[in-house]
Structure 1
Amino acid sequence: MRIGIIGTGAMGSVYAGLLADAGHDVWAVDLWEDHIAAIRRAGLRVSGASGDRIARLNATTDAAEAGPVDMVVIATKADGVEAAARSALPILTPDTVVVTIQNGLGSADRVAAIVGADRLIVGVVGGFGASLPGPGHVHHNGWEFLYLGASGEAAADKVAPTAELWRSGGFSVKEHADIASMVWEKFICNVTFSGTCTLTGMTIGEVMANEGAWSVATACAAEALAVARARNITLPITDVEPFVRAFGSRIPNARPSMLLDHLAGRRSEIDVINGAVPRVAAESGLAAPVNATVSALVRARESAFD
């Protein structure tokens, strides 16, 4: 299959490297010129939970160079999804499937408005703990799951073949009929660790081992779960603390992408993760004071990044 991965930061590079190593014709598309140049020159090194390999693939800063593709993966951060979706339009055919995979809430709707909901598959990943040690090299601490679900009824028949394509790259894929449940299950885990790790500088395991940090993290999770229940989201969670602890225990040495952004002096996705909880809570007549406080502190730190 011919695949365009738009946004080859840490997670996008994992997707690109493992799908290319499985024999697919993969195009990595990113604006980071040093990363693209390194992939062109020596391939993409993928190390960590899946082993250590050099994947050979195409790389470009211009999505149009990929030509018509069978699948587009939008793997940018939430604030880049609209630009990524527009850049994908020249390489779409009537049969091209678009998979969008982001943290937080709201990205899928923005992508659907550009590429069309009838071709859109929404993805949620967890347990990877991916980072970029340098240009042309991605490392991931885990290799847990990829959930896929159709954005609308017209896309439902595209989920199974798309899942098989990802399985060919070694990904553990589960097909979901209930996208809201799928998104919120991961969202609650993001809310637990993202802001708390960012403010403390701790890894996921260190947060779980620290009484003070863990109390803040689990309070963030509890607020998010309360909002999900108020919105009648069906979730496989009875007690939130063991649920998020089980998630974190699989990648204790990982640093969430929000913390990695701050370590690099970049603004984060706070508005679609912890910052989304009080906003969505208000729609249901609820408050989320812990997430509001965590978000305000993260934004305060980011004010020094300009």
Structure 2
Amino acid sequence: MNKAITIYDIADLLGLSPATVSRALKNDPRVNSRTIKKVAEAADAMGYQGNPFARSLRSNKTHIIGVILPRLASHFMSSAISGIEKIANQHGYNIIITQSDELHSKEIINVKTMFQNRVDGLIVSLCFNSPDVNHFKNFFDKDIPVIFFDRVPDSYEYPAITIDNVSASFKATEHLILQGCQYLVHMTANTNFHIYKERYEGFKQAMLKYGKKVTDRNLLFNTLDHQSGLNAAEQIIAMKKRPDGIVAANDNGAVACMIALKSAGIRIPEDIAFVGFNNDPVAEIVEPKLSTVSYSGYDIGLIAAQNLIQQLLYPDTKKTLRIIIRSELIIRRSSIRSI
């Protein structure tokens, strides 16, 4: 078996002390640039591999940030990852990404894995059926920073980055009402969960403002993925009284539902107008283009990473517990009706 190359081997080759080689490999400013270059070239030529695990034991830091997401196959989440990674890399951190697949049981496993791998901090978007954040207890107890984004806990005691979901949903619903929609339905997931509870609240507030009753008939529950959108279309087609306006809590479910309804001969927006959430690329591909609430996953990722690293660098500073970023209603053809 080939012997692993050490800093002592590099030092012998170059006639330097092991301490100088060690500093050069860390780009220590006490070592001149020519020596740093020479050491780097020798290390590369000899096949030297550093030992980050040993370094982490000495420093009690891994310089790794864990990221837990509900799904990776999402434009919003992939944009958030780009923002997180940009800031993390700027500060010398790497990221490990896992997905829960919208399963609370898998989210629990992911949290345990991150803890066992000694990540320095966590950035998390919760799965839609997480009842609480008790599974993060080890992180909280050891003061390991955790930042939640988009899908965040109900409690304001945990740092989180989100939008004003109540206001955003209110504007989306009001827009459909002002377009002449009389009977609206809200397509959503678990309304016990923070993000969907708030979006339903905004829907209700707009309905009540304009004198419209809100009952269970105004709700369509699903998981908001493509198949759920198709299932929602089947439910709508079977209704004795069909809605003429739908506010969907995401774009993917809305688009799948629209396509299925169109295949059944229902006109969008003349028969049923639609507004979604997230401004995913699919919203501009579907015909008619989908009106949607837009907010930047990339910006949320940037802000989440900046706040996490701030906590890592300055643990004694006061935490910012809730950051609300801007959102806007983008109006496209799917919601514009002749009144």
Q: TM above 0.5, one fold?
A: no
Bigger-Rg structure (1/2): 2
TM-score, normalised to structure 1, is: 0.32
Q: Which has the higher helix share?
A: 1
TM-score, normalised to structure 2, is: 0.30
Which fold has the larger relative contact order, with Cα–Cα distance below 8 Å and residues 6 or more apart in sequence?
Answer: 2
